[in-house]
Amino acid sequence: MREDIRLGNEALERHDLDTARHYFQQVLDTAEATDLQKRIAANRLRDIAERQRAAEEPPVPASGKPRVRRKTSTVKQEEDSPGHRFVRPPEKPVVVINRH
């Protein structure tokens, strides 16, 4: 019985829930298992059932309300237009020298 529990725990570490369930169910079905071993197997089977239930159900937000996305129009405009606009100088600049 200890061997079945050990094998079931190893299967849980590998995330092989079907094999783990098989080993723990074997412990519950045999008459040779002690009360403590049966209790361990029952707890592990309950954990496996909770894991599978959690994997099947989509996560619900804590508030129970559907999530609403923030408006990002201002952020998008800032990203599209840079803060400083660079101007290319003319090909032949005109330089004016003032004499005093």
The answer to whether position 85 is within a domain reads: no
Does a structural domain hold residue 95? no
Domain count, the chain: 1
What is the reported pLDDT for 21? Answer: 94
Q: Is residue 40 part of a domain?
A: yes
SS (H, E, C) 44-85: HHHHHHHHHHHHHCCCCCCCCCCCCCCCCHHHHHHHHCCCCC
Domain region containing 19: 2-56
Q: What is the pLDDT of residue 100?
A: 74
- Give the pLDDT confidence score for residue 74 in this predicted structure: 58
Distance of CA 66 to the CA centre of its chain: 18
Task: Please list the pLDDT of the chain residue by residue as tens digits (100 residues).
Answer: 789 999 999 999 999 999 999 999 999 999 899 999 999 999 999 999 998 888 888 766 667 677 777 776 655 555 556 567 778 877 887 888 888 7
pLDDT score for 87: 80
pLDDT for res 9: 93
